[in-house]
Chain A
Amino acid sequence: MASLIHCPHCGVRPKEEFSIRGDASLVRPDPEASDEAWHEYVHIRANPRGRYLEHWQHVAGCRRWLVVERDTFTHQVFSVTDGAAAARGTSR
């Protein structure tokens, strides 16, 4: 259930403690990139049915940003990682 998120710092928490920012798989384009690339990055979002990477912030808990991998259809949560660690992993 997506209503319980396993925060890597605080443990199992209800979803009410979090706020959701959205897609975590976006990569910011180069500053010199084309207008189309920026338009795509800023405005265009997929609405997938299935696995989805999202940024969740544990606002009422440790206040850390987390990357939550979940299924938008079954609400199953596959993984939760700290945002900083995830960013380091993909060297962004």
Chain B
Amino acid sequence: MTTTYISRHPLEDRLPLEPGIRAVDHLEVPRGKAIATVMAMDGEEAAVAAGLAASGDVSVRFVAPGEWLAISQSDTPEVLHRNLSLLLAEAAYIFDQSDGRVVFRLSGPNVRRILAKGVGIDLHASAFEIGTSSNVLCGHISVNLARSGENEFELIVMRSFAESLFDDLRAMGREFDLSADFAAEG
């Protein structure tokens, strides 16, 4: 028997479905991102890192030695999984995480001050450059934090923590009148 599961975003009850009015500092929740965990096989860490770096459209987030998250905006989860499998066959294990993780995008001039309320690492551009990513503790939740621009950060969190992290981020951003909505692109 085949069962059809309905794909449902964990924040659907918490956010308006249409994009709202943006404040200066904004929390955006992109839907429909394809996310995959890539784990290098023993001894293949360097080869996998080089392969991922050359994968073009896919943005790569560092999780741990030999472990990354690969994110694609344009591909479906199936296509991302297939592309990565072709690219990294025999060198890495690839698992689809598209429904298992939730992406948050924080942007605005005060993002660093907002994040400083929950994250215990130095986020100055000289210490945490654009393009770097790492797992950090935000409040009591472990998230993958990446700097995608001078004043833009992306947080990837496990699905079951998404609502809790959302509440935390809103509380952290209340001082700066942080607005929140789903990203327009999907």
Contact A12-B122, Cβ < 8 Å, known A60-B142, A62-B64 = yes
Q: Which residues between 4 and 61 of chain A lie within 8 Å of chain B, taking CB atoms?
A: 9-14, 16-17, 59-61
Of A11, A13, A17, A64, which is within 8 A of B65 by CB? A64
Cβ of B110 under 8 Å from chain A: no
Interface residues on B, range: 10 to 19
Partner-A contacts on B (CB < 8 A)? 63-65, 67, 120-122, 134-137, 142
Cβ of A75 under 8 Å from chain B: no
Q: Is the CB of B135 within 8 A of A62?
A: yes
Q: Is the CB of A60 within 8 A of B137?
A: yes
**Whole-angstrom CA separation of A43 from B135 in the bound complex:** 34
Among B64, B121, B122, B135, max chain A CB count under 10 A is at B135
Q: A13-B120, A13-B136, A59-B142 are in contact. List 10 more A-B contacts (CB 8 A).
A: A10-B134, A12-B122, A13-B121, A60-B136, A60-B142, A61-B64, A61-B134, A61-B142, A62-B135, A63-B64
Q: Is the CB of B64 within 8 A of A9?
A: yes
Partner-B contacts on A (CB < 8 A)? 9-14, 16-17, 59-64, 82
**Whole-angstrom CA separation of A17 from B121 in the bound complex:** 11
Q: Mind listing 10 A-B residue pairs with CB under 8 Å?
A: A9-B64, A9-B65, A10-B134, A10-B135, A61-B64, A61-B136, A62-B67, A63-B135, A64-B65, A82-B65
**Whole-angstrom CA separation of A47 from B109 in the bound complex:** 49
Min distance, Cβ A17 to any Cβ of chain B, angstroms: 5
**Whole-angstrom CA separation of A60 from B134 in the bound complex:** 10
Of A11, A59, A64, A82, which is within 8 A of B121 by CB? A11
**Whole-angstrom CA separation of A61 from B63 in the bound complex:** 8
Among A9, A59, A82, max chain B CB count under 10 A is at A9
Contact A17-B120, Cβ < 8 Å, known A9-B64, A59-B142 = yes
Chain A residues within 8 Å of B142, by CB: 17, 59-61
**Whole-angstrom CA separation of A16 from B31 in the bound complex:** 31
Min distance, Cβ B7 to any Cβ of chain A, angstroms: 28
**Whole-angstrom CA separation of A13 from B65 in the bound complex:** 16
Beta-carbon nearest neighbor of B144 in chain A: A61
**Whole-angstrom CA separation of A12 from B136 in the bound complex:** 11
Min distance, Cβ B157 to any Cβ of chain A, angstroms: 12
Min distance, Cβ A18 to any Cβ of chain B, angstroms: 10
